[in-house]
Amino acid sequence: MSGTLGESKSTFYFKVCGQINTEKTLKLAIQRARELGINRLIVASETGLSALVAAEMLRRSRIDLIVVTSAANTKIENTAIGDLKIGIPDKKIWNKLEKFGARIVRATDPLYNVGAALEHHGVPTLATMVRLSLKIVSSGTAVCVTAALMATDNGLLKEGDEVVAVAGSWLGLDTALVVRAVNSVNFLKPGAFQIKEIICKPRNPAHSWPVNQKDWVGNLKLYKDFTE
């Protein structure tokens, strides 16, 4: 009788946020994708370095890689390591990902678009509320959700598809979810977008990247070529 009620699945909780968790996150995500028969993995990657790790791990597998990144010529200003160029700005990395067979989506985050200027002046928007609500679970949860929306908007997924999405806390990967894809215009439609499973996440999602190296851990030297 108990078997008809559901099933027990594990969720891995990282001790810290950050790039140090990248390979473990991908291993867990790929394992769950295989268990569920899901043949597409979404990886959110701003520099392309995490996406390259995923591409290497997926070689000779039957799982297709979708890489989602920010709009071209954008950057995160005034980080602790300088202004960080995002949107996979290095053409060599872009070409290498395509050589591995990855499909790349470069676009604007639907939860951080035309309202961004208002947010910079302290004016909350609906997108602000949604993003902050998702960050209660983890920063990577918010990014997993938007990456799935962006991939669907770009036609790489169909509404209703189940996919494994992977993202992190600023740099690297530390969160993986199984989600039901929809276009961004239908995101808040009741029952449309769904988080089906949490594969892994930081147990404490709060972090002060990367000032406090106790709650965000990773190798920042990997990203020096992306700062100015």
Task: Identify the CATH number of the domain in which residue 154 sits.
Answer: 3.40.1380.20
pLDDT band at 112 (very low <50, low <70, confident <90, very high): confident
Bridge pairing between strands 40-44 and 64-69: parallel
Indicate the number of domains in the chain. Answer: 1
In a domain, 140, yes or no: yes
Q: Is residue 102 part of a domain?
A: yes
Look at residue 22 and tell me if it is in a domain.
yes
Q: What count of Cα atoms within 13 Å lies in the side-chain half-sphere of residue 102?
A: 31
Is residue 4 domain-resident?
A: no
**From CA 152, how far away is CA 168, in angstroms rounded?**
20
Is the four-CA dihedral 18, 168, 55, 194 of positive or negative sign?
A: positive
User: Which residue range forms the structural domain that includes residue 88?
Assistant: 10-226
Residue 17 has pLDDT above 60, yes or no: yes
Written in H, E and C, the secondary structure of 2-13 is HHHCCCCCCCEE
In angstroms, what CA-CA distances link 220 with 160, 171, 201? 37, 9, 20
Position 115 confidence tier, pLDDT thresholds 50, 70, 90? low
In a domain, 85, yes or no: yes
* Domain-located, residue 128: yes
Q: What does the alpha-carbon distance between residue 141 and residue 135 come to, in Å, rounded to a whole number?
A: 6
Q: Is residue 3 part of a domain?
A: no
Q: Distances from the Cα of 87 to the Cαs of 112, 116, 119, 214, in angstroms?
A: 14, 17, 21, 27
Check whether 208 has a pLDDT greater than 90: no
Cβ density class 209-227: b for 16+ within 10 Å, e for less:
bbeeeebbbbebeebeebe
Residue 113: inside a domain: yes
> Tens digits of per-residue pLDDT, 28-84?
999 999 999 999 999 999 999 999 999 999 998 999 999 999 999 999 888 888 999
The SS3 assignment for 138 reads coil
